[in-house]
């Protein structure tokens, strides 16, 4: 579905990462594979360091920490938030939505919208789209978008398919109307028939958590995981990304009436280095214009990867100049989306550590 | 330049690839091995095998891998 927005902008982005760092080499002993094979995988995929929360740390803890940071520095005022959108697949509770938890902990005003959305790796784009739609309302002048997941708490340490790549993080993005006549193009797609390719089978209403769902089982490929853990059909997801994302981006660029060459950077979700290199090759985009270094420094932090790749690679530049970028997210659902917009001259932009 | 068999042996030295007609069915290559293999083939032949071609049927044996390599622009 093609969408167009006018006169909207990102005012700034703050990424919060846990101070706790784990390394792939240290974790290798947990996997039921020879170290030599794991090391080859490390080299190709870019697995190295990743940031994960300590026991008991939840999405609202990271979000409140980040928002207080913005309040303390005057980059955002509590009372000017007209809408709070929280996108996560690891909520603090099943009920209520995590946006209400954050709202209560921060003491935000009552006369505002609080919305919780269940989305993962496409979540930054879904959140932006929602925020831009809200900003069509005269009464909404500033929207805070929180993307956060603590998926490290839902992966098996003995699952080499998932464990080495998952990181935790939170991003806070402030959206507002743009005084300039800016145009934002977006394209979003979904295929729910492939939902089981990326899922946590137990813990919801369909298969509630029990002692049985917590038991580690041999997945048949050398990995051990429980039904309470995140499962990913890696081959299916890889094929999905390589097949679906390039035509989505090409369609987006054509609809916007621009060209691939006029886009400064392609800031994509960061599943692993190899997948992104193949994606760039397929679209004939130089690797330098599609950064792929988030997994090696932070891990794949789900819906936070796009703010992370943007801030980690372009942070300083985005405080003083504007860049034309194509954002692309893809993952659970299956969902995939792209957005073409100009970003920059942010009021704030950075990465901080949660301790 | 290394041969396909030499590259396969570097990835899974415990197997005799010359003796197998189907590396996937025989359990000699899993999906992660295919990724490692593609990265090694790309580097060895100076190509980029398309991501959409990284499917088990293209890695069943040396012949299917060589067909894939030629299709991807490798000179073998």
For chain A, domain boundaries = 1-355
Provide, as residue numbers in chain B, all residues whose Cβ is less than 8 Å from the Cβ of A274: 35, 38-39
| Mean pLDDT on A92-101 | 97
A159 pLDDT more than 90? no
pLDDT tens per residue, range A184-201: 999 999 999 999 999 999
Taking an 8 Å cut-off on Cβ atoms, the answer to whether B48 and A279 are in contact is: no
A1-355 CATH pick, 3.40.50.720, 3.40.50.880, 3.40.47.10, 3.10.20.30: 3.40.47.10
Residue A339 has pLDDT above 80, yes or no: yes
pLDDT at A221 over 80: no
SS3 A50: strand
Q: What is the pLDDT of residue A345?
A: 96
Q: What integer best gives the mean pLDDT of chain B?
A: 91
Largest distance between two CA atoms of chain A: 60
What is the mean predicted confidence (pLDDT) over A316-325? Answer: 96
Q: What are phi and psi of A123, to 5 degrees?
A: -65, -30
pLDDT of residue A228: 96
pLDDT tens digits, A289-298: 999 999 999 9
Task: Render the burial of A297-323: b for 16+ CB within 10 Å, e for the rest.
Answer: bbbbbbbbbbbbbbbbbbeeebeeebb
pLDDT value of residue A320: 96
**Rounded-to-integer distance, Cα A232 and Cα A195, Å:** 10
Which pLDDT tens digits describe chain B residue by residue (76 residues)? Answer: 889 999 999 999 889 998 888 999 988 998 888 999 999 999 999 999 999 999 999 999 999 999 999 999 988 8
CB atoms within 10 A of CB B8: 26
Cβ under 8 Å to A: B residues 34-63: 35-36, 38-39, 48, 50-52, 54-56
| CB atoms A282 and B51 under 8 Å | yes
Q: What are phi and psi of A300, to 5 degrees?
A: -80, 105
pLDDT band at residue A161 under the 50/70/90 scheme: confident
- Mutate which of A47, A238, A243, A247 to disrupt the B interface (most B C-beta within 10 Å)? A238
The mean per-residue pLDDT over the stretch A234-261 comes to 94
Per-residue pLDDT, A272: 93
Nearest residue, CB atoms, A44 vs list B39, B51, B55 = B39
Strand A8-18, strand A217-218: pairing: unpaired
Give the mean model confidence (pLDDT) for residues A211-218.
94
Q: Which DSSP string do the residues of B7-74 spell out, in sequence order?
A: HHHHH-TTS-GGG-S-TTTTTS--HHHHHHHHHHHHHHHT----GGG-SGGGGSSHHHHHHHHHHTT-
Bond prior to A96 in cis (omega within 30° of 0): yes
> Residue B20: what pLDDT?
87
How open is the CA angle A52-A58-A64, to the nearest 5 degrees? 105
Mean pLDDT of A339-346: 97
Give me chain A's average pLDDT, please. 95
Report d(CA B16, CA B4) in Å as an integer: 13
Strand A49-51, strand A224-225: pairing: unpaired
The separation between the first and the last C-alpha atoms of chain A, rounded to the nearest angstrom, is: 41
Taking Cα atoms as reference points, which of A23, A21, A26, A41 lies closest to residue A222? A41
Q: Strand pairing partners for B15?
A: none
- Confidence at A133, pLDDT banded by 50, 70, 90: very high
| Alpha carbons A325 and A86: distance in angstroms, whole number | 23
Q: Which residues of A touch B (CB under 8 A)?
A: 37, 40-41, 43-45, 160-161, 221-222, 234-235, 238-239, 241-243, 274-275, 277-279, 281-282
CA dihedral over A159, A164, A170, A175, signed as positive or negative? negative
Q: How confident is the model at residue A158 (pLDDT cuts 50, 70, 90)?
A: confident
Would you say residue A32 has pLDDT above 80?
no
Confidence grade of residue A182 (pLDDT, cut at 50, 70, 90): very high
Task: Give the pLDDT of residue A23.
Answer: 93
Q: How many CA atoms lie within 13 A of A166 on its CB side?
A: 22
Side-chain half-sphere exposure of B29, counting CA atoms within 13 A: 30
SS3 A11: strand
Distance CA B28, CA B16 (A): 9
Residue A272: closest CA among chain B residues belongs to which residue? B35
Q: What is the mean pLDDT of residues A44-50?
A: 91
CA dist B34 and A333 (Å) reads 25
Comparing CB atoms, the residue among A41, A161, A243 nearest residue B52 is A243
User: Per the structure block, which two tokens stand in for A137?
Assistant: 């309302």
How high is the ipTM of this complex?
0.88
Q: How far apart are CA A318 and CA A312, in angstroms?
A: 11
Find the farthest-apart pair of alpha carbons in chain B and give their distance in angstroms, rounded: 30
The per-residue pLDDT for A28 is 83
* DSSP letter assigned to residue A195: G
pLDDT at A31: 77
């Amino acid at each position: 579905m093609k969408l167009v927005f006018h006169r909207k902008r990102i005012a700034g982005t703050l990424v919060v990462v846990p101070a706790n760092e784990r390394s792939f080499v240290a974790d290798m002993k947990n996997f039921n594979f020879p170290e030599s094979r794991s090391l080859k995988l490390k080299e190709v995929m870019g697995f190295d360091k990743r940031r994960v929360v300590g026991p008991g740390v939840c999405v609202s803890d990271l979000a409140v920490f980040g928002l207080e940071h913005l309040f303390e520095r005057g980059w955002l005022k509590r009372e000017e938030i007209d809408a709070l959108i929280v996108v996560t697949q690891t909520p603090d509770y099943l009920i209520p939505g995590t946006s209400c938890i954050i709202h209560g902990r921060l003491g935000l005003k009552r006369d505002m919208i609080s919305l919780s959305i269940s989305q993962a790796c496409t979540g930054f784009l879904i959140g932006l789209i929602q925020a831009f739609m809200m900003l069509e309302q005269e009464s909404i002048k500033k929207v805070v978008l929180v993307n956060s997941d603590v998926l490290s708490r839902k992966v098996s340490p003995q699952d080499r398919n998932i464990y080495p790549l998952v990181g935790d993080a939170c991003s806070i993005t402030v959206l507002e109307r743009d005084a300039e006549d800016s145009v934002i193009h977006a394209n979003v797609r979904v295929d729910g028939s492939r939902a089981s390719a990326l899922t946590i089978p137990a813990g919801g209403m369909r298969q509630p958590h029990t002692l049985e769902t917590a038991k580690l089982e041999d997945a048949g490929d050398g990995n051990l995981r429980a039904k309470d853990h995140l499962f990913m059909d890696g081959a299916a997801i890889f094929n999905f990304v390589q097949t679906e994302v390039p035509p989505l981006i090409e369609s987006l660029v054509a609809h916007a009436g621009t060209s691939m060459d006029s886009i400064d950077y392609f800031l994509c979700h960061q599943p692993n280095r190899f997948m992104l290199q193949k994606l760039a090759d397929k679209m004939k985009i130089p690797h330098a214009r599609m950064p792929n270094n988030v997994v090696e420094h932070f891990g794949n932090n789900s819906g936070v990867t796009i703010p992370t790749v943007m801030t980690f690679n372009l942070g300083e530049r985005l405080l003083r100049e504007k860049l034309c970028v194509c954002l692309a997210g893809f993952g659970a659902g299956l969902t995939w989306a792209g957005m073409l917009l100009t970003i920059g001259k942010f009021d704030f932009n950075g990465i901080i550590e949660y301790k | 330049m290394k041969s396909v068999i030499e590259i396969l042996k570097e990835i899974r030295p415990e197997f005799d690839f010359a003796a197998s007609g189907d590396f996937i069915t025989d359990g000699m290559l899993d999906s992660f091995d295919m990724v490692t293999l593609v990265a090694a083939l790309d580097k060895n032949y100076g190509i980029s095998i398309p991501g959409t071609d990284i499917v088990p049927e293209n890695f069943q044996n040396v012949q299917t891998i060589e067909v894939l390599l030629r299709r991807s622009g490798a000179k073998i």
